[in-house]
Homo-oligomer: A and B are copies of this chain.
Amino acid sequence: MRVLGVDPGLTRCGVGVVDVGRDRSAVLVDVVVLRSPIDAPIEQRLLRIAEGLEAILDEHRPQAVALERVFARSDVSTIMGTAQISGVAMHLAAKRALPVALHTPSEVKAAITGYGRADKKQVTAMVTRILGLDTPPKPADAADALALAICHAWRTGPVAATTTDGASMTPAQKAWLAAERSAGLSGAARRLGR
Q: Which of A25-33, A83-91, A152-160 contacts B (4 or more CB under 8 A)?
A: A83-91
* Interface contact A90-B79, CB-CB below 8 Å: no
Residue A1 lies at the interface, judged by CB distance under 8 Å to chain B: no
Total chain A interface residues with beta-carbon distance under 8 A: 27
Minimum CB distance partner of A69 in chain B: B80
What chain B residues lie within 8 Å of A46 (beta carbons)?
87, 90-91, 94
24 contacts between A and B (CB under 8 A): A41-B100, A43-B91, A43-B100, A44-B94, A46-B90, A46-B94, A47-B91, A50-B91, A50-B95, A70-B80, A71-B80, A72-B72, A79-B83, A83-B84, A83-B87, A84-B84, A84-B87, A84-B90, A85-B87, A86-B87, A87-B87, A87-B88, A88-B91, A91-B91
